[in-house]
Amino acid sequence: MLVEERSAAIEVPPTPSGTALAGARAHAGLLLVAICVALAALTLLLPSAPTYDPWSWIIWGREITHLDLVTSQGPSWKPLPVLFTTIFSLFGSWAPDLWLVVARAGAIAAVVLAFRVSRRLGGGIVGGVAAAAALAIAPWWIRNAALGNSEGLIVAFLLATIDRHLAGDRRAAFLLAACAGLLRPEAWPFLGLYGVWLLWRRELPARLVLGAGAGVVALWLLPEWWGSGDLLRAAHRAKDVNPGAPTYADSPVRAVLEDASEMLTAPLVAGLVAAVVMVVARRDRVVAFLAGVAICWLGLVAYMTSDGFSGNQRYLIAPVALLVVLGGAGAGWGLERIIELAGRALPALARKHQARALVVVVAAAIGLGFAFPSFQNFAPMMRGLQYQADLADELPGLVREAGGADQLKACGRPFTGPFLVPVVAWNLHVHTQDVSLVPTRPAVVFRVKTTGHSRPVPSLRGVGDERTAATGSKWRIVTACGSPTA
């Protein structure tokens, strides 16, 4: 008996060391990233084209490699995307697709993390599936991910920060939060408060916290100084608002909050009500704190909009995505309490197996329920994405058909519609500021229908309709070389 007990004791596997656990977590994280990148690469088989802001980041990456950065025109500067696009510029015409892979991989990772964080917050498998399904099928989510906007990445970093903090890995959490700070300035107050809290708790060295904070600020300001001579050009550009933005509403704050409410479907609102009950029942300070973060972030966007910033829907995606996760957690928590009560009415042996089956069935049903309200908008959204992809795909061939970028630039200044400036600049290898909107001779006019039902722009009134150098289903390149009197 003693020998058997000794043998049994010897055979007990040792507890993994902290280093081994950290290594396992790192490998799991890298595997998740690799899977998300692979899935994102497969999405290039679907309609694929960057939109206005990403095209500008891609151009700026190319300009940095040529030490010729010009940011005086275009959208606000964003450091993290341009870090990627600078590297991708080394791959020439592949750069736009490579950026799309990164942006879409971030969106896919965010969906996975929505499941993980919602489950961790008390929603269980049911809550995790609900949150992931609601986020994955939301039209505003798919559209921004498909067009290469950076919102998928910031939500991924936000949720990864929460996940690592709850796991006790403060260093990783803070560094992930710093990455979020490289994507949107609204993240700065939360990053700063988190850094102060970590310093107060002495959980991270001051040199790391202060160094990361200084790095975030420097990467936002210094490239703008180089590219435009204005440290605050991004802030000034953000106040150059397009017509129809919430800024022009009678009450910009109310307009922003209405936009946010439209992003939340009825099942998500019900889940958020359940989350409130969960906070009260469990005295859950973590869920309450995260709800406060989401509300404060929405409030910050609303305040900035009332101060003249555009306040468009993209700015709301990070806080709304966090509310989606909390709504999933609340719904999962409530339904799992119901499942537990139902399980107690069964015999002990049946309870164990039937409860598991019930969780699976309920998770599938609740996931479908949370996703269903978004299905009706799926087809129109995909048609819009297809049209935008066709615009980007058709243009390079037309430029070659018209004689190539050099011949077109020798003819005159390029002109196009207001939202197609970066894609024209990319194909002609010029700065965005070199492409204008109102044609005057000498000119190369890239006339285009920006949507399937819009009129072609820009007008040819100032240059005439001399010669069509190339035409396609979406674009028409008109050349008017020489002076007005030629």
Q: Are strands 443-448 and 413-416 parallel, antiparallel or unpaired?
A: parallel
Q: Is the pLDDT of residue 404 over 90?
A: yes
Using the 3D structure, point to which of 376, 406, 428 is the last residue of a domain.
Answer: 376
Q: How far apart (Å, rounded) are the C-alpha atoms in residues 305 and 301?
A: 6
Residues 421 and 317 in one domain: no
Residue where one domain finishes, among candidates 347, 376, 405: 376
Q: Check whether the bond before 243 is cis (ω within 30° of 0).
A: no
Q: How many domains does the chain fold into? A: 2
Q: Which residues contact 112 (CB under 8 A, 6 or more apart)?
A: 32, 36, 132
Band of pLDDT at residue 449, cut at 50, 70 and 90: confident
Give kind and range of the element (H or E) at residue 444: strand 443-448
Q: What is the pLDDT of residue 15?
A: 47
149-174 average pLDDT score: 96
Evaluate whether residue 470 is within a structural domain: yes
| Band of residue 6 on the pLDDT scale cut at 50, 70, 90 | very low
15: in domain: no
What mean pLDDT comes out for the span 21-29?
A: 66
Does a structural domain hold residue 50?
yes
* pLDDT at residue number 342: 64
Is 309 contained in some domain? yes
Sorted by sequence, the CB contacts under 8 Å of residue 432 that are 6+ apart come out as: 56, 59, 70, 73, 74, 421, 422, 425
Same domain flag for 134 and 164: yes
* Cα 165–Cα 167–Cα 169 angle in degrees, nearest 5: 60
The answer as to whether 383 is a domain residue is no
Q: What is the pLDDT of residue 484?
A: 60
Residues 371 and 441 in one domain: no
Question: Last residue of some domain: 317, 344, 376?
Answer: 376
One domain, residues 222 and 321: yes
Query: Distance between CA atoms of 239 and 13, rounded to whole angstroms?
Result: 61
Both 132 and 229 in a single domain? yes
Higher pLDDT among residues 242 and 463, named by residue: 463
Claim to verify: residue 346 and residue 457 sit in the same structural domain:
no
At 356, which helix (H) or strand (E)?
helix 348-375
- 435 and 297 in one domain? no
Query: Could you give the angle at which helices 348-375 and 124-137 cross, rounded to 10 degrees?
Result: 10
pLDDT on residue 382: 83
Q: How confident is the model at residue 351 (pLDDT cuts 50, 70, 90)?
A: low
What gap in Å lies between CA 236 and CA 385, rounded to an integer?
A: 30
Do 341 and 395 fall within a single domain?
no
| Residues in contact with 191: Cβ distance below 8 Å, sequence separation at least 6, in sequence order | 177, 178, 180, 181, 213, 216
Report yes or no on 186 lying in a domain: yes
Q: What pLDDT, on the 0 to 100 scale, is given for residue 349?
A: 43
pLDDT at 428 over 60: yes
pLDDT classification of 13: cutoffs 50, 70, 90: very low
Average pLDDT score over residue span 275-291: 94
Same domain, residue pair 176 and 293? yes
| pTM listed for this prediction | 0.89
Q: How many helical (H) and strand (E) elements, i.e. helices and strands, does the chain have?
A: 20, 4
- Of 84, 90, 10, nearest to 50 by C-alpha is 84
The whole-number pLDDT of residue 452 equals 73
14, part of any domain = no
pLDDT surpasses 60 at 485: no
Give the model's confidence band at 434: pLDDT under 50 very low, under 70 low, under 90 confident, else very high.
Answer: very high
Give the pLDDT band (50/70/90) at residue 245. confident
Task: Write down the pLDDT at residue 4.
Answer: 38
Distance CA 419, CA 46 (A): 22
Question: What pLDDT sits at residue 220?
Answer: 94
243 vs 255 pLDDT, higher one? 255
- Render pLDDT for 187-236 as a digit per residue (tens, 0 to 9): 999 999 999 999 999 999 999 999 999 999 999 999 999 999 888 887 77
Note the pLDDT tens digit of each residue in 57-115.
Answer: 999 999 999 999 999 888 889 999 999 999 999 999 999 999 999 999 999 999 999 99
- Residue 345, both tokens: 């009415």
**Percentage above 70 pLDDT, the chain:** 89
Domain extent for 46? 26-376
- What's the whole-number average pLDDT of the chain? 87
Q: Give the chain's largest Cα–Cα span.
A: 110
313 and 456 in one domain?
no
How high is the pLDDT of residue 182? 96
In this predicted structure, what is the pLDDT of residue 84?
Answer: 97
Do 231 and 141 belong together in one domain?
yes
Question: Is the domain of 81 the same as that of 134?
Answer: yes
Segment 295-310 mean pLDDT: 90
Distance CA 76, CA 87 (A): 20
pLDDT at position 233:
81
Residue 431 has pLDDT above 80, yes or no: yes
Whether residue 328 is contained in a domain is answered as yes
pLDDT band of residue 338 (cuts 50, 70, 90) is confident
